[in-house]
Chain A
Amino acid sequence: MKLRMVHALGIAMYVASVAVPTPSAHATNINFGANQCQPYFRIGNVHNDVDITLNFSATDAGLIVCSIPRTPLSPTATTASFYIDGSGAGTSCALLSYNYTGAFLGSVSFANSPSTYDQYLSLPAAQVPYYAYTYLYCVVPGGFSTNGIRGVTSLDW
């Protein structure tokens, strides 16, 4: 904890030392496929089934969790923004932010997607501080090879 505070102090000193911070040093787009997504472990103590394919995390009606890489927001950013892409009418997803300590900071969600979606989600910058982690949690309707999460883009905004 203290070490991280020292690191943050160093960053603060750096930012304070530079008249105009370089935005790209803080945030940059990250586009990634969803092959790393996993089935949410428990549904009544039964594993739900996820089919990890070349360009998909598809599911036979279940919950999927995905890690979302991101870069810290620039000092002037007001939101942390993401695009969630996939297929499956009726998909619902929640994007959650937790501090590195495990404290829940905020969430945003969408529901009842069209059959193919490119959904924009954002959280206020205050809910996504420098060291926070973001996670994606989706309920995907059944339909192997057709319904699933294709990818997520963390935006440099």
Chain B
Amino acid sequence: MTIKALKLFGIATLILFAGLPASKTLANINVGTNQCQAFGDSGQVANVFNGTYNDSSTAGVVMVCHVLRSPITTTGGAAAFFVDGDGIGTICTLASYQYTGVLLGTVTVASSSATYDLYASLPQEQAPYYAYIYLYCSVPPGGVVRGVTAIDN
């Protein structure tokens, strides 16, 4: 954790001394998940006011969601995200596709706690300027995907 803090501070310091352009518009994007859908016939979801729930009390469901992001501007940076929700055993995959449809890379994270705040990142070469990112989550009964934050780094 200390290493990560130092890394973040290092990045911040680098930005400071490199001179941040005034026109920089990259920023975090926080988005709720009311737009998520059940993947195929994997089950039934409930889009309610604070997220998308697995409506089943007995079976899991796979949800698919779009992920909003701004292009990475830092060379060697990463496309990083937080995925938030509830449901122990939730497994989420972020998949990056080039605008042409070519799969560029994936990253998978899993929740070991009832309420999760999962961090996932893809290297810049797997999330180039015009790539699209999609979120697929296997959600246990009663689980919810609450939101996704694309991190400005």
Contact = CB atoms under 8 A, between A and B. Distances in A.
Interface of A: 1-4, 6-7, 9-11, 13-14, 17-18, 22, 24-28, 30, 36-42, 65-72, 94, 96, 98, 100-102, 104, 130-135, 137
Interface string B1-35: 10011001101110110001011111111111111
B28 A72 contact: yes
Contacts of B12: 10-11, 13-14, 17
Contacts of A39: 47
Interface of B: 1, 4-5, 8-9, 11-13, 15-16, 20, 22-35, 45-51, 53, 55, 66, 68, 82, 84, 86, 115, 117, 119, 144, 146-147, 149, 151-152
Contacts of B117: 1, 3-4, 100-101
Nearest to B144: A102
B15 A14 contact: yes
A131 B119 CA distance: 13
A68 B51 CA distance: 11
B1 A36 contact: no
B144 to A, nearest CB: 8
A27 B47 contact: no
Contacts, number: 144
Given A18-B16, A36-B66, A102 B29 contact: no
23 contacts: A4-B117, A11-B8, A17-B12, A17-B16, A24-B23, A24-B24, A25-B25, A26-B27, A30-B29, A37-B34, A38-B35, A40-B48, A41-B48, A41-B53, A65-B47, A70-B29, A70-B31, A102-B86, A131-B82, A133-B31, A133-B32, A133-B50, A137-B49
Nearest to A135: B32
Contacts of A67: 31-35, 147
A7 B152 contact: no
A76 to B, nearest CB: 15
Nearest to A17: B16
